[in-house]
Amino acid sequence: MTPENAPVLIFLCPFVVALLLPVLRFDKRLAYYGAVVALAASAGLSYWGLTLVQNGTAISHFMGGWLAPYGIEWYLDSLSALMAFLVTSIALIVVFATGETVEREIGTVRIPYYTIALLHLSGLLGMILTRDFFNFFVFLEVASLTAYALVATGDNVRGNMASLRYLFIGTLGASFYLLGVGYLYAGTGTLNMTDMAARLPGFIGSRTAFLGILFIFLGLAVKMGLFPFHGWLPDSYAHASDSASALLAPLTTKVIIYSFIRIFFSVFQVSVIEQFSLDTVLLVVGAIAVIAGSFLAFVQTNFKRMLAYSTISHIGLIMLGIGLLEKTAFLGAVLHILNQAVMKAGLFLIAAAAAHRHGIRDILDFTRLRARMPWTLAAFILIALSMIGAPPLFGFFSKWYILLGAIKTGQHWVAVLVVGSSLLTALYFFRVLERIFFTSPPVSETVAEAPWRLLACTGLISIALFVFGLLAPKIFTWGLITLIPKGL
Amino acid sequence: MTPKFIGLFNYTAALILVLFGIYALITQKNLIRKIIGMVILQTGTILFYISLAAKHGAAIPILIDQGHHAVIDPQHYANPLPHALMLTAIVVGVSTLGVALSLIASIFKHYGTLEEDEILIKMESSK
Amino acid sequence: MEVASIRPLLAVLVSAAASLGILASNRNRTIRETWTFAAASIKFIIVLSMLPAIFRGNILTFKILEITPGIICSFRVDALGIFFALVASVLWIITSWYSVGYMRALKEKEQTRYFFSFALSLTATMGIAFAGDLITFFAFYEMLALATYPLVAHKESREAVLAGRKYLVYSLTAGALLLFAITWTLDRTGTVAFTPGGLLAGSFSSKELLIVFALFIYGCGVKAALFPVHAWLPSAMVAPTPVSALLHAVAVVKAGVFGILRIVGFVFGPELLDSSGLGRLLAGVAAFTILYASCMALAQDNLKRRLAYSTISQLSYIILGAALVTPAAYLGSIMHLANHAMMKITLFFCAGVIYAKTHLENISDMGGIGRKLPWTLTAFTIGTLGLSGFPPFSGFISKWLLCEGAVEAEGWVFLAVYLTSSLLNAAYLLPVVFKAFGPPGTKQITASEKGIALVWPPLATATLVILFGIVPFFILTQIDLARIASSSVFGP
C-alpha cells in the first residue's frame, strides 16, 4: 500500500472482483455485495490518492518496473485523482442504490451483469489513470464493449438495436483514435504521453501531426457524444435497463471528456489548440449542442430520452467552457463535469425509481407520482434546480464560472449562450415539474416510495448538491492552484 | 546498408481499406454487411501500423546470442512494438465482432430480418 | 460604521427553518399554521432588534462566503434594507393571519405546499433586503421567483398553470439578463458590493453603459412591473388573494423596486445617471407606465385585475422617483414603498373577503355590497382615499414627497404625470366605493360579516394607513429611517 502503487490499487479492486464474481455462483446476492464492497474499497483508495496529490504533486507507477518511455506509465495527479474519486463514488452510489432494480430487471443473469459493470468501471479507471496512448485505447475499448453489453440489458429488444448502433458508431470512433495514435507514433516514435509532449513541438508542423491530432479529436468526439456525433446517445440511454443507464449515463461520457482534456491540454498543449483553431471548433460545436440538445429535450415524452438530450446539451456547455481557453472558464467546465456526473446519476436513479415502483416512464404519466413518491420528488426538485443553475446549488457555480470566463475573454456571445442554456434547461425541467405538481389533482393514493436504498441515494445526491454548492468556491480556489494546465 | 521504409503502397492500401470500411459501415442496410465493413475498417488500421514497423532488408526482431561485446543496432531489426500493439488490437476487434454478432443473433430472433430499414419499420409499428 | 452581526442571517433563515417544519406537519393543520406565525413573529422581532443599531448610524454585516478570490458575498443591513425588511415582515404576520382565515373559508387544497412556498418566499425577500452585494441579491432574487411560482399556479386550473408559465418565463429571463449584467460589472470593476453613491463610474463606455443599464433595469423591472415587462402581473391575479396581497403588492413587486433603488443608488449612483442621461430615460419609461397602467385600470371590471394595474402604476411612481435622482425624490420613493404596500394590501384583503363571502369578482356585480360587508368596505375606502393621496392618510405624505422631488429635479412633465395619475387613481377606485355603498345591483347578494376572522386583517392594515398618516411618532420614525437611507446615497 505504498503511495507509488496507489494508481494501480484503485484500478485493481473492481477489476479483480469482476473476475472473481463468476466463480462465486452459489449465491446470486453475493454479486451485489461483492460489487458494492469492491467499489467502496476503490472509492476509499481514490480518496486516499486524492489526499496524496492534493498539493500538486503527482505519482507515477511504471508497470512491471519498465520505466517510461519504454514501459506503460500510470499517473495520478490532482485532476486524475479527482476524476477517479468521482467515478468510483458515483459508481458506488449507483450500484448500491440499484440493488432491487437489478434484481427485477436483470433477474437470473445478475452475476454476469455485475461482472460486466465492474469491468466497465475498471475500464473507466484505466482510462483515467493511464499515461500511455495505446494503453488508453485498450481501456477505452474495454469500457466501450462492456458499455455495449450494458446497453443491451433489460428485457426489451430495442435495447439490442440501440446497443448495435452504439457499437458501430463507437467502433468507428475507436478506430479513428487508433489511427490518430498511429500517425503520432509514426512521427514521434513514442506512445508515452509525457514523452510525446516533449517530442511533439519538433514535429508539429507536418501534415502527419495534424492528421494525428485530428483523428484523435474525432475519435474522442464520437465517444463523448459531442454534436454531431451524438446519434448513439439518446437511444442507448433510453432503451438500456434502468440500472444500466444509471451507471452509464453519468460516467462514460465524462471520463472521455476528461481524457480529451488530458490529451489536448497536457500533451498537445494550448499552443497546438490555438494553432489548429480547435478552440473555435469547440465553441461552435458546443453552441450548437447546447441549443439543439435543449430543444430536442423539450419535445421528448420519454423521461430518460429527455435526460439523454439534456446530457448532450450540457456536454456542449462543457465544451464551451473548455474552448474559451481561460482559467476561470476551464475550472467551471471541470466543475461542470463533476456536477453533471452527480446530477445525472441522481436523475437516472429517479427514473429508475419511477419505473421500478410504478412502471412510469413517460413524462405525461408523471402526474401520478405526486401523491405516491413525495420524497423522491423533493429530491427531483433540488436536482432539477441545480441543473437549471439556481444558486446556491452546485449547478449555479459551475455555470457561473464559465459565464465569468466568457465575459473575461470578451466572448459575449458565449456568455449569452451560457445564460441561455440555463433558460433552456429550465424550459424542459419545468415542463416536467408542471406536469407533476400542477396538473390534474391526484386521486388520493397511498405513498409507495422507492426502495429505501434508491431513495437514500437520491436524497444523498440532492443534499450533496446543496453542500457542494456552498463548498464550490473552496474547490474553485484549490483548482486554481492545482488543476489548471500549463499555458492557460 | 541504410534502412529504408517500404514505399507508400502499403499506406495507400490501408487508406483504401479504411475508407471502404467506413463506406460499408455507413451505407449498407444489411447488418452483416455493416459488420463486415467494420472489420475491414479495423483491418485497414492494423495494416497501417504494421506498415510502420517494416524496414527494407531488416531482420526479424529476435535476439540471437552474439556474445557480450556485440553491438546491437536497432536499425537492423524490424520494429516489434507495432506488432505487439496490433495483436492487442486484433483481440479487441475480435471481441467487438463477438459482441456484435451476438446482438445480431438476438435481433434476428426477434425481428426475423437483418435489413436495417425493415427492422426500423417493425420497431415503429410495434410501439 | 460596520458591525458584524449574525442577526441578518437569523432573520433570513428563521422562515427557511419554519418551511421545513411546515413540510413535516403535513397532517396537522394547527401545527402547520403555528410554524408560520412563529416564524413571522420571530422574524419581525429580529428585524426590529436591528433597528436601533441602524438609527445610531451603524451597518450590520455578515460574511457568507468568498465566491472567487477577492469577491465576498455578504449580508449588509443598512437603512434601506431594514426599511424594506420591516415592511415585508410586519405585513407577513398580518397576511398569515389572513391566509389562515381565507384558506379555511374556501377549503383550499394543497395548503402545505402553499404555506411552505410562502415561508420560502419570505426567506428570499429578507435575503434580498439584506443583500450586501449583487451576487447575494441575485441568488435570493431567483429564489423568490422560484418560491412564488407554486403560489401563482396554486389553483392548478388551466388559467393558473398558464399564468405560472408566463410568470416563470418573465422572471427567469429577467434573472438571466441580470446575471449577465452582474458578471459584466464584476469583470469591469472588480467588485459587486453595493456601494453608496455607485461603483460603476468610469468602467464602461457610454454605449456599454446603456446596455448594462438596460440589462439591470430589465432584470429588476420584470418584478417591478415596468412597461413592457409588466404583463405577468395581471395574469398572476389568478392566484389566491393572500398571494396577490402579500406577494404581488408587497414582497415580489417591492423586491423589484427595491432592486431598482439599489441599482440607482448603490450601483450606478446619482452622478453617473445624471451625466449619462440614463436617469431621464428610465424616468420616461416609468412615467409612461404610470399613465398606461392607470388607463388600463379604468377599463378592468375584475376587481383584482383593476388593483393589479393600479399596482403597476404605483410601482412606477417609486421607479420614477428613483430615476429623478434627487434626494427628495429618492426619499419619496422609499416612503411610498412602505405606504403603497400598506394601502394596496388593504385593498387586496378586502377583495379577498368579498370573494370569500360572495364569490364575486367583478365590480359590476358588487352593487350595494357595502351594506352587507360594512367593515370590509370601510377598510377599502380608507385604502382608496390613501392611494388617491387624500390627507390625513399615509399616501398623501409619500405622494407629496415625490412631487417635491419632481420639483427639485425640475422635471415638470413628471410632476404633471404624478398629479394626473392621482386624479386617475381616484377615477378608478372611488367608483368601486360608490358602487359598493350605492343601490344593490341585479345580483342578489347574501353575505354577512358574522363570525368572520377575515375582517380583522384589512382593518389592521387600514389602521396602519391611518397611523402612518396622522401619528407623528410613526411618520417621523419612518421619514428618519428613509432619510438615513437617502443620505447614504446622496450625501448628508
Q: What is the CA radius of gyration of chain A?
A: 21
User: Given 3-state DSSP classes, what are the helix, strand and coil percentages for chain B, each rounded to the nearest 5?
Assistant: 70, 5, 30
How far, in Å, CA of A462 to CA of A445, rounded? 25
Round to whole Å and give the CA distance between C348 and C245. 5
Quote the pLDDT of residue C244: 87
pTM: 0.92
pLDDT in tens, chain A (488 residues): 677 788 888 999 999 999 998 888 778 788 899 999 999 999 999 999 999 888 888 888 898 888 877 889 999 989 999 999 999 999 999 999 998 888 888 878 889 999 999 999 999 999 999 999 999 999 999 999 999 999 998 767 888 999 999 999 999 999 999 999 999 999 898 999 999 988 888 888 888 889 999 999 999 999 999 989 999 999 999 999 999 999 999 999 999 999 999 999 988 888 888 888 889 999 999 999 999 999 999 999 999 999 999 999 999 999 999 999 999 999 999 999 999 999 999 999 999 999 998 888 888 888 888 878 888 999 999 999 999 999 889 999 999 999 999 999 988 999 999 999 999 999 999 999 998 888 876 676 778 888 888 999 999 999 999 999 988 888 998 988 888 887 77
At C393 the pLDDT is 87
Does chain A touch chain B (at least 3 C-beta pairs within 8 Å)?
yes
What Cα–Cα distance (Å) separates residue C463 from each residue in C247, C276, C338, C344, C346? 20, 43, 14, 13, 10
Confirm or reject contact between A432 and chain C (CB < 8 A).
no
DSSP run (H or E) holding C24: helix C7-24
Q: What is the DSSP annotation of C165-208? A: HHHHHHHHHHHHHHHHHHHHHHHHHS--B--TT-S-TTTS-HHH
CA closest to C142 among chain A residues:
A390
Report pLDDT for A312. 95
In a domain, B69, yes or no: no
**Residue C430: closest CA among C347, C354, C362, C315:** C347
- The bridge status of strand C2-4 relative to strand C59-68 is parallel
User: Looking at the DSSP assignment, which residues form a beta bridge with residue C68?
Assistant: C71
State the Cα–Cα distance between residues C11 and C140, nearest whole angstrom: 14
Do residues A472 and A397 make contact, with C-beta atoms less than 8 angstroms apart? yes
Among A residues 319-348, those touching chain C with beta carbons less than 8 Å apart? 328
Distance, in Å, from the CA atom of C460 to the CA atom of C475, rounded to the nearest integer, reads 17
Contact criterion met (CB below 8 Å) for A418 and A320: yes
Asked if C346 and C458 count as a contact pair (C-beta separation under 8 A), the reply is yes
**Terminal C-alpha separation, chain C:** 15
Q: What is the pLDDT of residue A42?
A: 93
- Name A132's bridge partners: A192
Strand partners, A62: A73
**What is the rounded CA–CA span in Å between residue A172 and residue C84?**
62
Residue type for C464, please?
L
- pLDDT band for B39, please (50, 70, 90 cuts): very high
Residues A392 and C146: beta-carbon distance below 8 Å: no
- How big is the A-C interface in CB pairs under 8 Å? 73
Interface contact flag, C139 A392, Cβ < 8 Å: yes
> A434 and chain C: CB distance < 8 Å anywhere?
yes
Residue B4 has pLDDT above 60, yes or no: no
Cβ–Cβ < 8 Å for C383, C462: yes
Report chain B residues whose CB lies below 8 A from the CB of A171: 38, 41-42, 96
Q: What is the per-residue pLDDT for B54?
A: 83
**Chain A contacts of C139, Cβ < 8 Å?**
391-392, 396
Count Cβ–Cβ pairs < 8 Å, chain A vs chain B. 70
Contact A408 C143 (CB under 8 A): no
In a domain, B64, yes or no: no
Cβ-based neighbour number of residue C157 at 10 Å: 12
Our measurement of the distance from residue A87's CA atom to the centroid of its chain's CA atoms, rounded to an integer in Å, reads 8
Chain B stretch 38-57, residues whose beta carbon is closer than 8 A to a beta carbon of chain A: 38, 41-42, 45, 48-49, 52
List CB contacts (< 8 A) between A168 and chain B: 25, 34, 38, 100
CA angle A50, A56, A60 (to 5 degrees): 70
Helix axis angle for A158-188 and B80-111, nearest 10°, is: 170
- pLDDT string in tens for chain C (492-residue length): 888 888 889 888 998 998 888 888 877 788 888 888 889 999 999 999 988 888 888 888 888 888 888 888 999 998 999 999 999 989 888 888 888 888 877 777 778 888 899 899 999 999 999 999 999 999 999 999 999 999 998 888 889 999 999 999 999 999 999 999 999 999 888 888 888 888 877 778 888 888 999 999 999 999 999 988 899 999 888 888 888 887 777 789 999 999 999 998 898 888 888 888 888 899 999 999 999 999 999 998 899 999 999 999 999 999 999 998 888 899 999 999 999 999 999 999 999 888 888 888 888 888 888 888 888 888 999 999 998 888 888 888 889 999 998 888 888 889 999 999 989 988 998 888 888 888 777 666 676 766 567 888 888 888 988 888 888 888 888 888 888 888 888 877
Q: How many CB atoms lie within 10 A of CB A79?
A: 23
Number of domains in chain B: 1
Inter-chain touch C176–A423, beta carbons under 8 Å: yes
Asked if A439 lies within 8 A of C161 by C-beta distance, the reply is yes
Minimal Cβ distance to A423: which of C67, C68, C172:
C172
C-alpha–C-alpha distance, residues A359 and A352, integer Å: 9
Predicted pLDDT of residue C438: 81
Task: Tell me how far apart the alpha carbons of residues C224 and C226 are, in angstroms, rounded to a whole number.
Answer: 6
Q: In this structure, what C-alpha cell is assigned to residue A435?
A: 406536469
* Contact A63/C at CB under 8 A: no
Domain residues of chain A, as ranges?
A: 299-488
In angstroms, what separates the C-alpha of A404 from chain C's closest C-alpha?
6
User: Shortest CA distance to A255 belongs to which of A213, A279, A278, A223?
Assistant: A223
CA of B115: which chain A residue's CA is closest? A161
B-chain CB neighbours of A185 within 8 Å are: 52, 82
**pLDDT at position C367:** 80
In a domain, B45, yes or no: yes
**Cα–Cα separations (whole angstroms), residue B87 to A31, A184, C114, C200:** 32, 19, 67, 66
| CATH code where residue B120 lies | 1.10.287.3510
Neighbours of chain B (3+ CB pairs under 8 A): A
Supply the range of the domain harboring residue B21: 9-57+74-125
Q: Quick one: pLDDT at residue B2?
A: 40
Q: Bigger pLDDT: C450 or B104?
A: B104
A22 touches chain C (CB under 8 A): no
- Within-domain flag for B117: yes
Pair C87, C120: CB distance under 8 Å: no
- β pairing state of A73-76 and C2-4: unpaired
Closest chain A C-alpha to C143 CA, distance in angstroms: 7
